[in-house]
A = this chain, B = another copy of it.
Amino acid sequence: MVVAFKEENSVAFKHLFLKGYPGTDEDDYSCSVYTQEDAYESIFFAISQYHHLKNISLGTLGYGENEDNRIGLKVCKQHYKKGTMFPSNETLNIDSDIEIDCVHLDLSKSPEEWKNLSFFRLEFYRLLQVEISFHLKGIDLQTIHSRELPDCYVFQNTITLDNKAHSGKIKIYFDSDAKIEECKDLNISGPIQKNTQYVLVFDALVIVICLASLILCTRSIVLALRLRKRFLNFFLEKYNRRVCNADQWEFINGWYVLVIISDLMTIIGSILKMEIKAKNLTNYDLCSILLGTSTLLVWVGVIRYLGYFQAYNVLILTMQASLPKVLRFCACAGMIYLGYTFCGWIVLGPYHDKFEDLNTVAECLFSLVNGDDMFATFAQIQQKSALVWLFSRLYLYSFISLFIYMILSLFIALITDSYDTIKKYQQNGFPETDLQEFLKECGSKEKYQKEPSAFLSCICCLRRKGSDDPLILVN
């Protein structure tokens, strides 16, 4: 809700302060002007709107103080120190040092008077950027509905007219930075129930339960590690050979590790959430990422219980079996993918939006592999230089063909192969590892000898532990 409030305020500011704002941003900038007249009008429009804010704005806005505790607009212009330029003669006389001039416009004079300021005689050929910055204060009354105290905001707005490219197009950026502050003088009558206590109690409960689950799982893992140590020594002494690595890992239950990670995330996330409720913190992102990921892990953890029925096991087993092959295969395919990514970025970067930075290239190629957005990608590079056009065709056709027809098909071959292996195992029994052989042997010995040994009781204990599974909770 806080994110939405900031977002809506930002949109409202753009409509208020940008002349001719079309409702959506053009690119990474909000709008652009192409003539000197428009540039001046954009600047004076913002100034005028600021002066009449009270009579215009629909929001709960008031003027805020600057860094230097003054109310008003601060207009700064950056330009090259001095210079004359006659492009017709290709004569350029410029000092590349950059000078910054600032002026503070308070509310004492009317916007019309400010217009006549000599500061606003802009020499566009050496102008780099004009920056209009002002602070506004606002109150988010919406929270009253949800029975919470309203938040006060300070909006640091900056309008930037960027002429750095000197290409005849000035891009206008609008940047609104909102900070939450506690309101100084709140006086709210009426029935505001503070039911946040119940939420806090619930959060605390979640933390306690997760903590319990965390401790139990950690104990299981610690015990298992101790058991492994004893088993290794025992094996080394008795059979005089080392236990293979895979067998050593068998002792550590991967599911417990999953639960531990999930619990840790839930606990940290819940603590952050309580802090946010208490207005001590404002960073929602980390909190939501932690809680979100823990939810994902909890759901994945449910598969474990399905795995107790053998027939349900196939997904997990096949993924386990095919994982090393798939990863190795991905490493190879990844090389080619990286190659194409870099190549596309270098060659097509200046001609194609989707190839502008490495990250977008990777996304675009990934989408292409999965059959998305193909025609649009082809079409976007239509009317450029013939050489690049030819290269882009070769590039796209070869990439798509290679990945969709060769590599995706190989994936299917890999998985089908793993599935067949698993199926055969399920019918004929899995190949036994040292550990399993040993356990079987022990088991058969035990049957005949009925001698409870400390070692085996420990294994049983581990097994018993496994059954009182730590609680898993979805928040």
A168 to B91, CA, bound (A): 46
A37 to B54, CA, bound (A): 12
Asked whether A375 lies within 8 Å of B373 as measured between CB atoms, the reply is: yes
Which of A201-209, A242-250, A342-350 forms contacts with chain B? Answer: A342-350
Q: Which residues of B are found within 8 Å of A420, using beta-carbon distances?
A: 413, 417
**A57 in the interface, Cβ–Cβ < 8 Å?**
yes
Give min CB distance, A408 to chain B, whole Å.
8
Q: Which residues of B are found within 8 Å of A339, using beta-carbon distances?
A: 295-300
Which of A58-66, A221-229, A465-473 forms contacts with chain B? Answer: A58-66
**A212 in the interface, Cβ–Cβ < 8 Å?**
no
Asked whether A346 lies within 8 Å of B91 as measured between CB atoms, the reply is: no
**A405 in the interface, Cβ–Cβ < 8 Å?**
yes
**A164 in the interface, Cβ–Cβ < 8 Å?**
yes
Give min CB distance, A161 to chain B, whole Å.
10
Asked whether B58 lies within 8 Å of A296 as measured between CB atoms, the reply is: no
Asked whether A170 lies within 8 Å of B411 as measured between CB atoms, the reply is: no
Give min CB distance, A257 to chain B, whole Å.
17
Asked whether B165 lies within 8 Å of A5 as measured between CB atoms, the reply is: yes
Q: Which of A58, A191, A385 has the most CB of B within 10 A?
A: A58
Chain A: number of interface residues, binned into ranges: 35 or more
Give min CB distance, A43 to chain B, whole Å.
13
A97-B190, A144-B96, A350-B4 given; A58·B85 CB < 8 A: no
A372 to B374, CA, bound (A): 6
Q: Which residue of B lies closest to A297 (CB)?
A: B339
Q: Which residues of B are found within 8 Å of A12, using beta-carbon distances?
A: 34, 167-169
Q: Interface 1/0s, chain A 362-389, versus B by CB < 8 A?
A: 0110110011111110110001010110
Give A125-147 interface residues, CB cut-off 8 Å to B. 125, 136-142, 144-145
Give min CB distance, A199 to chain B, whole Å.
16
**A159 in the interface, Cβ–Cβ < 8 Å?**
no
Number of copies of this chain that the complex holds: 4
Q: Which residues of B are found within 8 Å of A56, using beta-carbon distances?
A: 35-37
A125-B60, A165-B5, A285-B387 given; A374·B378 CB < 8 A: no
**A458 in the interface, Cβ–Cβ < 8 Å?**
no
**A69 in the interface, Cβ–Cβ < 8 Å?**
no
8 Å CB contact of A8 from B140, B165, B373: B165
Asked whether A187 lies within 8 Å of B93 as measured between CB atoms, the reply is: yes
Give min CB distance, A140 to chain B, whole Å.
7
Asked whether A400 lies within 8 Å of B58 as measured between CB atoms, the reply is: no
Asked whether B372 lies within 8 Å of A375 as measured between CB atoms, the reply is: yes
30 A-B contacts, Cβ less than 8 Å apart?
A: A8-B169, A12-B169, A15-B35, A15-B169, A28-B383, A60-B87, A61-B168, A62-B88, A64-B88, A89-B184, A90-B152, A90-B181, A90-B183, A92-B187, A93-B185, A292-B346, A296-B339, A300-B336, A311-B328, A314-B325, A314-B328, A314-B410, A315-B333, A318-B413, A319-B406, A326-B405, A360-B379, A370-B374, A372-B373, A409-B415
13 more CB-based (< 8 A) A-B contacts, given A57-B168, A58-B170, A90-B152: A8-B168, A16-B168, A37-B56, A60-B166, A95-B188, A96-B191, A285-B347, A291-B346, A311-B328, A360-B379, A366-B400, A405-B415, A417-B420
